[in-house]
Amino acid sequence: MRYHGLMTGQLTLLLLVAALATGLVTSMVAITYVQESQPEFFRYFLTNILLFNMLILAGLVFRYLQFQFQAAELIAYQVVLPGLLVVMAALKLGWLYAFILMNRTLPADTAPKQFAKKLARASIVVFLVYLGAMLMGFFLRNGILEKVAIILLETLIIGGALFAAIQLRIVATRLPGNHRRKSVMLFGSYHLGLLGIILAVLILGWLQPGPQKLAQLLVNGGFLVLFNVFSLVWIMWFRPPQSVSGQERFELLGITKREREIVRLIQAGKTNQEIADELFISIATVKDHNHNLFRKSGVRNRLELANLFR
């Protein structure tokens, strides 16, 4: 029995080293594409890889400390572990932020800046609420409050990631170009499967609470290897070969025929009044179209809009 536990621990360590190695290689490859093509997407892609690896490592450390700490060690058990849970919550929210933006920028190759700012604010609010709940649970000695906060956060993380992956899968079906469409569909389908596994593991954890066994830690190490290997394979063989054209971006972002006319006139340097006169519409209507274009494209001004569709 002792020999079996030792072998399992060594295999877990071996898988962890392999996971870190593949994660390092994948990150280095992703960095090259940040400079070469689709820089916005690959920045979020790289952030997603790094945060996911850090999150799995933090989870392994948490489970290891659960093995080592005894309930009698009040400071270690009641302070260190909850503190690590807060760190993991920050990593999870950061990962979700990068994951959503990664899925938003992959098909359209554009950074939705306004959306990114709103998402960042929402992530900070969620973290502060979670931190407040954990502190209240600690000072009130209320373990139920802490468990509820953890479950709600996990539900939000998985739910938000699933929504982003499903949305990407839907968008992929409308992409022009056979290779590009297959590439994005594979990317979305893989993450749907990945999130399904994570959800199943979480449900099993909620149904069977308590410290995990070494065999379960072994699964976590293998899971991280799989995540990093797929990311590397996708970059090397299945990534979209080039950025989308302005015409393709119109279709991806749902820009109407009238809004396309507005964009072309903006690119020609026309003012709102000149656009209204040329299209025989009111200036208020032109401003409404501008607002819709900014919202759909995630840009802040007319210059960014003109550059986006060139």
Q: What does the pLDDT read at residue 3?
A: 42
| Domains held by the chain: number | 2
Q: Return the closest-CA partner of residue 204 out of 188, 222, 185, 220.
A: 220
Domain boundary among 243, 271, 290: 243
Are both 194 and 280 inside the same structural domain?
no
Q: Please check whether residue 190 lies inside any domain of the structure.
A: yes
Contact of 276 with 268, CB cutoff 8 Å: no
Q: What does the pLDDT read at residue 295?
A: 77
Domain range for residue 278? 254-308
CATH code for the domain of 264: 1.10.10.10
The pLDDT profile of the chain, 310 residues, written as one tens digit per residue, is 444 444 555 666 676 777 777 777 777 777 776 655 667 788 888 888 889 888 877 877 777 676 666 554 556 566 777 788 888 899 999 999 999 998 888 876 665 677 888 889 999 999 999 988 888 877 777 778 878 888 888 889 988 999 999 988 888 887 666 677 788 888 888 888 888 877 777 676 655 544 455 555 566 666 777 788 888 888 877 766 555 566 667 776 778 888 889 988 988 888 889 998 888 889 899 989 888 888 777 677 888 778 777 6
Are both 62 and 126 inside the same structural domain?
yes
Q: What does the pLDDT read at residue 60?
A: 74
Are both 278 and 185 inside the same structural domain?
no
Contact of 246 with 277, CB cutoff 8 Å: no
Q: Which H, E and C letters describe the chain, residue by residue?
A: CHHHHHHHHHHHHHHHHHHHHHHHHHHHHHHHHHHHCCHHHHHHHHHHHHHHHHHHHHHHHHHHHHHHCCCCCHHHHHHHHHHHHHHHHHHHHHHHHHHHHHHHHHHHCCCCHHHHHHHHHHHHHHHHHHHHHHHHHHHCCCHHHHHHHHHHHHHHHHHHHHHHHHHHHHHHCCCCCHHHHHHHHHHHHHHHHHHHHHHHHHHHHHHCCCCCCHHHHHHHHHHHHHHHHHHHHHHHHHCCCCCCCHHHHHHHHCCCHHHHHHHHHHHCCCCHHHHHHHHCCCHHHHHHHHHHHHHHHCCCCHHHHHHHCC
Q: What does the pLDDT read at residue 308?
A: 73
Are both 196 and 286 inside the same structural domain?
no
Name, in order, each residue with C-beta under 8 angstroms of 216's C-beta and a sequence gap of 6 or more.
63
Are both 304 and 203 inside the same structural domain?
no
Pairwise CA distance, residues 122 & 168, whole Å: 21
Are both 233 and 297 inside the same structural domain?
no
Q: What does the pLDDT read at residue 85?
A: 86
Contact of 95 with 51, CB cutoff 8 Å: yes
Q: Please check whether residue 279 lies inside any domain of the structure.
A: yes
Are both 160 and 275 inside the same structural domain?
no
